[in-house]
Amino acid sequence: MLDIVHEHLDKVLGLYTLGSHFEDLKSAKDKYFSITGKLDEDKEEFESRMNCFNDWYIFQFRHNDGSKVIEDYIRTGQLDVELSQALLNVNHSLFEFSKINFRKQIVLHDILHDEKIILVKNHPTISLMEGDVFTGRVIKYKGAYYLLRGVCILPQGVKSILKKQSKKVRKLNSFEEELNFLLQLECLKTKATHYGHIDPAKIFIF
């Protein structure tokens, strides 16, 4: 099922990065990297960073009229109701890779929303280890959970700081505050990458 989701997301990127949409893409890139910080193409994490941008562009960037790319794609593409709802309700959050359970399924802790998420059995391999903390997006489709490509792994040493700040953000009960927090984490990760000689705890300050 994840293949179906990725097929549609790849189609979205193909449609909404060319022609009349190119200026929107350029504007989105300028906005995203002004918020999260720039990363050189020769950096090891550049590809994962671009995956994060692609997911943000599809699901969260708003055009001048307030609409999102995914909303326009669903409206014009005549997708079925179940897939449409899945794409409209992607969970962008801060996660921890908790463990692999006895059924060989990856168990995530959604730190920001304080929920447990069990990915579908035989989920495609992900470049994460138990204990990793990261921002990313999970989609629920046909009753199963899948992790999308855009993942930003955060330093292990700031896990307790992130959990404490997540509680504060959760109490605000605001989607916009959550998004601001998650993008701020990407920005702080960029700073930590640029200043690798500095203790991340001195960078991840809220």
The reported pLDDT for the residue numbered 124 is 86
Quick one: tokens of 119? 């990915």
pTM of the full structure: 0.94
CB 110, CB 91: distance < 8 Å = yes
Low-confidence ranges of the chain (pLDDT < 70): 42-43
Q: Return d(Cα 99, Cα 39) in angstroms, integer.
A: 30
pLDDT at 36: 96
